[in-house]
Amino acid sequence: MQNATIRSKRESPRSDPGSTHVPDLFDGLRDVFHQLRRSGPGDHSDKAAVALLAHLKSLGPVRASDLAERACLAPSTVSRHLKELEDAGYLLRSPDPDDKRATVVEVSLAGNKLVAKTIAQRIEVLEKAVRSWSAADVTALTKLTRRLAAELEQL
C-alpha cells in the first residue's frame, strides 16, 4: 500500500442510523494488525512462525495439538512452524510430565529473545505512528482496546 492511510472496504460511514459500526471497527483492527505485522523484518512465513512462538510463550509448555487448538490453526500448520522454530533453536521439546509418550514444546532462551526483539520493533513502529497524538488520545485508545480484549475474553 503506497500511502500510510489504510482505507476500509467501507469508504463512508454506514447510512443506517441504527448501525453499530462494528464491521468498521473490525476493518480498522484488521488493518492495524496487518500494518504491524508488515512492519517487521522477515517474510510472511517467518512472521507467522514468530507469532506462533509469541503465542506459545504466553501459554507456557504445552502439547503441539493444544497449541494448534489455542491458536486456531491447523495442526499441520503448527507442526511445520514448530519444526522450523526447533531447527532454528527457538523452541525446546521435552516429555510431557503427565504422559511420557507425548511431548510438550516451550520457548527457548533464544526464542524468548526473538519474541522480545519482535515486540520491541512493533512498539517502536507504534511509537512512531502515534508520535503526533496527544497523551490523552493514546491513553483513551489503550483503555478501550484493553476493555475490548476483556469483553472478548468473556465470550
d(CA 141, CA 10): 22
- Please give the pLDDT value at position 42: 62
Q: What's this model's pTM, rounded to 2 decimal places?
A: 0.75
- Please give the pLDDT value at position 146: 96
Task: Please answer whether residues 91 and 53 qualify as being in contact, where contact means their C-beta atoms are separated by less than 8 angstroms.
Answer: yes
Identity of the residue numbered 114: L
H or E segment and range at residue 16? none
Ranked by mean pLDDT, which of 22-26, 35-39, 88-92 comes out on top? 88-92
- Please give the pLDDT value at position 41: 63
Instruction: Provide the CATH topology of domain 22-154.
Output: Arc Repressor Mutant, subunit A (1.10.10)
Does 5 have pLDDT greater than 50?
A: no
Long-range contacts of 86-95 (CB under 8 A, 24+ apart): 90/53, 90/114, 91/53, 91/56, 94/61
Chain position carrying cell 483513551 = 140
- What is the per-residue pLDDT across 97-152, written as a single tens digit (0 to 9) for each? 888 888 999 999 999 999 999 889 889 999 999 999 999 999 999 999 999 999 99
